[in-house]
Structure 1
Amino acid sequence: MSTNISKQKRDDLLNKIQEIRTYIASAKQDDNTARLLSYLSELEKDVNGKKYGLVFEEHREKIDDELATHLPVLSEEKDLFIDNGGQMNFLIEGDNLASLKLLEKTHKGKIDLIYIDPPYNTGASNWIYDNNYVDGNDLFKHSKWLSMMKSRLEIARRLLTTKGVLICAIDENESATLRLLLDEVFGVNYEYDCITIVHNPRGIQGKNFSYTNEFAYFVIPKGDKIIGERRLSNNEIYWSPLRNWGSESLRTDARNCFYPIIVKDDKIIGFGEVSPDDYHPKKNEILEDGSIAVYPIDSKGIERKWRYARQSVEGICSYLAVKKTRGIFDIELGKTFGTYKTVWSDPKYDANGYGKQLLNSLIPNCPFDFPKSLWNVYDCLYSVVAKMPNAIVLDFFAGSGTTGHAVMKLNAEDGGNRRFILCTNNENNICRDVTYERIKRVIDKEGYAASLKYYKVDYIPISERMYYEYADELLLHIRELVELENGINFTGNAEIAIVLTDEELEEFVKNINQHKKCKKIYVGHDVLFDAEQAQVFKSKRISVNIIPDYYYKELEG
């Protein structure tokens, strides 16, 4: 029987704390003894804390201090609006912790997929914490990275739907700590799969090994089958007989699956009708025009069946091929989808050719150093949202904007209406000059039906101010939150409108004839309609959406 040494140590400390408490309790009671007893309670609580998991020195960021005294709000850069039809997407410039705080107001429980590529903490001064670069000599580099990630992942978890998935790219520097952190933040109701992705086949030379891969952690709700099939590349397609074998493969098991496939010059040219029950061909038949009617009959003359009914096979005709073995015709089906494996090594995951070079082709001499391969991100997204055409995808470490690029590409290929939300800071003007510019140029080059709004995070001071003293300032930024939550655009859009005060409502109704195209209006939750105003909207068939009061309700006191 094993001995829990850690428990013995905790019990020993608790006994000592109890002895001290007993001693203090027997002394004359005053403010000092009361304070000491409260200290002991805090120590006891700490000792009784976590028994297993990730332990690190938690650090506080400058943004934490900012958020303690200020409220983040969004302001639109209207000159950067891209209007090209399709779904409305959003790019938010600012500290991503502040952006996440705002998204928690608009998208709690609404995000289908979060894909992030955070700084890898390589020790090469490649990321900033609290306005300072973290290098390899920083004794708390791992703790600072974990502190930064934990605060953001906790909000990310609350943003996901009940079937939502988080994908986090990482390399060997923080892979182990990330796994423990994910377990702490998401808990036992999720499963964690680590995928190895060969992103640099040439290798990056380390002290002992040449590194060719990185990792991606998939955090998936436990018990749900969410990851779909992956598309196979041309050299991966494998073939299997269209004719059924084994159990339940006879003609009588599915009569509608016994019909001829018409072949001429080793190509499929058509499909015959389902054979009547009393028709029993013994072999393939040569027709008058020289074509061949191929039936699902095996070499012993036993009537089998095709795997699919005629209408289904017609739909996948391009994946069928005629195979001839020793002069005997048969039909084979090329499988174009396969199971995702835990090692991904497609040449298109090369971060140089399909990341850096691709980005440079869009933005010449782009200063962004390590963009992901577009196909790396595309396949990560595809594995989750291929069958979710209306998914909302969030990336709060957006970098060069690869995630937005991949979402638009996927939509263009399958006609989907997925939306993306990208968040990044503007260090070295990355948000404006790289992220935004990439999305803009991709839309122009590919003609994607996609629109984009550009928001900046601003801050309103609230320290030592009552809510009513800054409520009017918050009201000036409600429009952006409504747009973000609903994926809409008010600017220059005659079909929708927004009113946030009683005065604005009166003005809108007064000039109702100027809003003949309006179909929907968003109204502040505390704006009151009188009977006449309500009748106006009803008569004009303008639907009314009440703006929720949860944006800043917690501040109203």
Structure 2
Amino acid sequence: MGKYDDLPREQLIELLNKRDRTKKLGLVWERDEIEADNAVDANFVAATIISELSGKAAPWRNMVIEGDNYDALRWLRMTMAGQIKCIYIDPPYNTGAKDWVYNDHYANPEDAYFHSTWLEFLFRRLILARDLLAEDGVIFVSINDEQRAKLELLLDEALPGMRIGSFVWRTKDSSNDADRNYSAVHEHVLAYAKSGFSFLGYKLDDKKYKHDDNDERGKYSLDPITKAHDYTERGNTYYPIQDPVSGWWYPCNPDSVWRFASKDRLKAGQKLRSETIEELIADRRIHFSGKSYFEFRSMKELSDAISEKRGPVDGNGRQLLRLDLPDLEFWVGKKIADGRPSRKAYWNEKEVTVKPVSSFILGAKEAMNADHHELVSEKQGKATGTIQDIFGKRVFQNAKPVSLVKSLLIAAANDDAIVLDFFAGSATTAHAVMELNAEDGGDRRFIMVSSTEATVDEPGNNLCRDITAERIRLLSASADPKFADLAAEFAYLRCREIEFEDLDQDLAPTEVWAALETLHRLPLTRYAQSPWQEHKTEDQTLIFADRVGTELLEHLLGVAERRENAFVYAWAPGQITAVLGDAVDVRSVRTELVGRFRQ
């Protein structure tokens, strides 16, 4: 019996009202969780290859999927769960613009929370995207400044524990709020990732490792050995250091004491996490930079020098010896070096030779120096010019620059990554993948998802066919030097919904074959409309038996004898196992696909 079963109606209503009045920490929007859960499995999604709209000849390693991205994501979750390395999306910004098929305005004034519909629209897609990510996968989401806070809270809800941070990039040069003297010319890219993800970073150059003692350790740089504490806070690391070769002494900066302890200052039983200064000196890991020295033969000479600001100084020209310091008489008669000691950091000993990715995306003009390794993006207007160069006219509004997406891919997508964009629009992400592969010889693959954006007034609209896919086709065939060496084949797939009870009759063999090839990580091929079809590689043999006959059974006996790593799918697998037993892995089409769809 449930804990509410015996409560009177009035008390149940009061509990519900109290729950509705209780405020939750974080983002709150109107949503029907039961309806949302049911929507995922409301029906089955199938996808079939439209050969005449596909780019180049099969086999196709890339995909362009036409359909509502909610349906496409459900299909991809069935076939590619846990395989996507990098997702980049530029979703609608909820600006109220009227030129998008969804009206770019998922805000219903009737909702208790004004942006509820927009938030729910994105939330349902983001939780599906989460299931697609590999354990080292990452998702980047572009958003403007106005909606950034809401979207970040939404991502926290949909992708709990996956937040990395955000990037800021400059979209244009002109101001859009001159009345307030404020130039809101930036947007954000929010980054969320699975636990195994780490940015690839950028290779460090070794230019600062210019010192060399001509020994087996090689080149080194000079790192400071001070820390931000004064001698009153860290008295145990305020001590003089002597160069054992020259005999010269180096005073400690009273405002920034040494980073390393001295064995002479250790307490009984004290354990250290790093070497003492004496150990570093003995191992020749301290560089002494003094070129000359000061020497004061009496306290008066020393005091006069301090008063007259003569004597050793730090890198900012501040006096290292002061009249108020303890043990000042120690320096009388000592040769006091004019330089500062540093630690030798050897290039050959570095465990990490990449530097972290910056949270600021620089403008292209700022990063023209080839030695500058940062995320780089051109302004938004450059993207419009690129599309005009490809199509010969302006066919898409507000595309992102290729350089923006490519920079993110350089930082996050290794050379064999699968990259997904389920708000593909003008296929900027595919363009970025193509450019990057051409530049570094990579083998990255893309999946672009786009709707038709057909409306009642314009039923013939097909954004996916005429812009998303067409951009890839035009780039692959372009003679323009700017697009040299850009080429990518792709299968054009179209999604449709099927009721589960109608699957056995309505799910076409072409749709089964596309799902099975994708599920087995194989490039897509045409379905030959034969009783059975086979896709064979060095690693596996995939067979789909639409109809079981003598010829197929004889072929499968040969597969079993050769001990191939074979997977056989059939509507009625019992017909095959009755002959082959367990010699071959035989699976039910319906059980396998529906089981994965409803995972």
Residues 520 and 545 of structure 1 are in contact (CA less than 8 Å); yes or no, is this contact kept in structure 2? no
Q: Which of 346, 364, 373 is 2:401 aligned to?
A: 373
Separation in structure 2 between the aligned mates of residue 73 and residue 492 of structure 1, nearest angstrom: 15
1:524 to 550, 555, 569: 569
Asked whether 1:134 is paired with 2:101, we answer: no
- 1:382 aligns to what? 410
C-alpha deviation, 1:383, in angstroms: 1.0
Q: Return the alpha-carbon distance in structure 2 between the equivalents of residues 389 and 425 of structure 1.
A: 28
**Residue of structure 1 equivalent to 2:359:** 342
Which letter maps to 2:171?
H
Q: What SS class does the counterpart of residue 381 from structure 1 fall into?
A: helix
Does 2:431 correspond to 1:398?
no
Using the TM superposition, give the Cα deviation of residue 252 of structure 1 relative to its aligned residue in structure 2, in angstroms: 4.2
CA contact (8 A) 2:106 2:119 kept: no
Partners of 2:67 and 2:449 within 8 A in 1 = yes
1:294 matched to which residue of 2? none
Change (3 A) 1:404 1:59: farther
Partner letter of residue 523 of structure 1? Answer: V
Distance 1:225 1:461 in 2: 37
Q: What whole-Å deviation, never above 9, does each CA across 1:129-186 have from its counterpart, x for those lacking one?
A: 4xx5638895655222111111111111121122211110000121000111111122
Q: Match for residue 359 of structure 1?
A: 387
Matched, 1:76 2:49: yes
1:175 aligns with: 148
1:441: how far off?
1.5
2:460 equivalent to 1:489: no
1:196 corresponds to which of 144, 149, 168 = 168
Q: 1:430 aligns with which of 451, 458, 463?
A: 463
Per-residue Cα deviation, 1:85-121 (whole angstroms, up to 9, x for no partner):
8970111111111111111111222211111100111
Task: Provide TM-score, normalisation by structure 2.
Answer: 0.61
Q: Deviations over 1:232-268 (max 9, x none)?
A: 9xxxxx87244346xxxx444537x79xxxxxxxxxx
CA deviations over 1:409-431 (Å, ceiling 9, x no partner): 22222222221111111113211
Check conservation: 1:502, 1:527, Cα contact below 8 A. Answer: no
TM-score by length of 1: 0.65
Amino acid at match of 2:547: E
> Is the 2:43–2:498 Cα contact (8 Å) retained in structure 1?
yes
Q: CA deviation at 1:453?
A: 0.5
SS in 2 for 1:368: coil
- 1:372 shift after superposition: 0.7
Aligned-partner Cα distance in 2 for 1:199–1:111: 28
Instruction: Show the counterpart of 1:420.
Output: 446
CA contact (8 A) 1:89 1:487 kept: no
Question: Which structure has greater strand proportion?
Answer: 1
Residue 227 (structure 1) aligned with residue 199 (structure 2): yes
Q: Cα distance, 1:398 vs. partner?
A: 0.7
Q: What amino acid maps onto 1:372 in structure 2?
A: K
Distance 1:46 1:106 in 2: 39
Task: Determine the C-alpha separation between the residues in 1 that align with 2:150 and 2:377.
Answer: 25
Please report how far the alpha carbon of residue 403 of structure 1 lies from its aligned counterpart in structure 2 after TM superposition.
0.8
- Rate the CA distance shift 1:492–1:474 in 2: closer, same or farther, 3 A: closer
**Distance (Å, rounded) in 1 between the aligned partners of 2:543 and 2:45:** 22
Q: 1:480 aligns with which of 504, 514, 517?
A: 514
Q: C-alpha separation between the residues in 1 aligned to 2:65 and 2:179?
A: 39
Cα distance in structure 1, aligned partners of 2:186 and 2:46: 39
Amino acid at match of 1:489: L
- Looking at structure 2, the residues matched to 220 and 450 of structure 1 have their Cα atoms a distance apart, in angstroms, of 27
Paired positions, count: 432
Contact 2:108-2:117 within 8 A present in 1 as well: no
1:121 corresponds to: 94
Letter in 2 for 1:226: S
Distance 1:116 1:447 in 2: 25
Indicate if the aligned counterparts of 2:569 and 2:588 stay in contact, CA closer than 8 A: yes
C-alpha distance 181-214 of structure 1, shift in aligned 2 (>3 A): same
Q: Is the 8 A contact 2:206 2:347 kept in 1?
A: no
CA distance in 2, matches of 1:84, 1:110: 24
Q: Using a 3 Å threshold, how does the CA distance of structure 1 residues 105 and 408 change in structure 2: closer, same or farther?
A: same
2:359 corresponds to which letter in structure 1? T
Q: 1:459 aligns with which of 470, 473, 497?
A: 497
- Which amino acid in the other structure matches residue 105 of structure 2? V
Structure-2 change in CA distance of 1:53 and 1:352 (3 Å): closer
Helix, strand or coil: the match of 1:192?
A: strand
Paired position in structure 2 for 1:103: 76
Q: C-alpha deviations, 1:216-236, integer Å up to 9, x for none?
A: 0011345x561122489xxxx
1:349 is displaced (CA, Å) by 2.4
Q: Distance in 2 between matches of 1:351 and 1:177?
A: 25
What's 2:338 paired with?
A: none
Aligned counterparts of 2:138 and 2:95: Cα–Cα separation in 1? 26
Partner of 1:122: helix, strand, or coil? coil
Are 1:87 and 1:419, in contact at CA under 8 Å, matched by a contact in 2?
no
**2:86–2:417 CA contact under 8 A, matched in 1:** yes
SS of 1:210 mapped into structure 2: coil
Tell me if structure 1 keeps the 8 A contact 2:59–2:523: no
Matched residue type, 1:164 = G
In structure 2, what is the Cα distance between the partners aligned to 1:120 and 1:437?
A: 25
Distance 1:433 1:64 in 2: 34
Q: What's the CA shift for 1:529?
A: 6.9
Following the alignment from structure 2 to structure 1, what is the Cα–Cα distance between the partners of residues 37 and 392?
37
Helix, strand or coil for the counterpart of 1:125?
coil
Specify which of 546, 552, 556 is matched with residue 594 of structure 2. Answer: 552
Larger Rg: 2
SS of equivalent to 1:393: strand
In structure 1, the partner of 2:547 is 503
Q: Which one-letter code corresponds to 1:483 in the other structure?
A: E
Change in CA separation of 1:547 and 1:363 when aligned onto 2, cut-off 3 Å: farther
The CA distance in 2 between the partners of 1:179 and 1:471, in whole Å, is 42
Which of 8, 26, 46 in structure 2 is aligned with 1:53?
26
Q: 1:349 to 1:199 in 2, by over 3 A?
A: farther
CA contact (8 A) 1:400 1:434 kept: yes
Aligned to 2:333: none
Structure 1 partner of 2:252: none
- Counterpart residue identity of residue 527, structure 1: P
As a proportion of its length, which structure holds more helix? 1
Bigger shift: residues 146-155 or 120-129: 120-129
Q: CA deviation at 1:206?
A: 6.7
> In structure 1, what is the equivalent of residue 207 of structure 2?
240
**Residues 191-235 of structure 1 deviation map (CA, whole Å, 9 limit, x = unaligned):** 33121111223344576333321100011345x561122489xxx
Q: C-alpha offsets along residues 343-401 of structure 1, whole Å, 9 cap, x if unaligned?
A: 2122262344531111111112232111110000000111111xx22211111111111
Question: Retained in 2: the 8 A contact 1:59–1:143?
Answer: no
Amino acid at match of 1:413: E
Matched residue SS, 1:169: strand
Instruction: Check the 8 A contact 1:63/1:95 in 2, yes or no.
Output: no
Question: Is 1:171–1:215's contact at 8 Å kept on the other side of the alignment?
Answer: yes
Identity value in percent = 26
Counterpart residue type for residue 134 of structure 1: H
Aligned-partner Cα distance in 1 for 2:100–2:569: 41
Secondary structure of 1:422's aligned partner: strand
Unaligned 5+ runs, structure 1: 1-17, 26-32, 233-237, 259-296, 310-335
Task: Find the aligned partners of 2:179 and 2:504 in 1 and give their Cα distance.
Answer: 57
Deviates more, 1:195-204 or 1:362-371: 195-204
Distance 2:576 2:124 in 1: 45
Counterpart residue number, 1:8: none
1:533 deviates by 7.1
* Matched residue type, 1:488: P
Residue correspondence of structure 1 range 274-293 to structure 2 within 5 A: none
Distance 1:97 1:495 in 2: 29
Query: Which residue does 1:160 correspond to in 2?
Result: 133
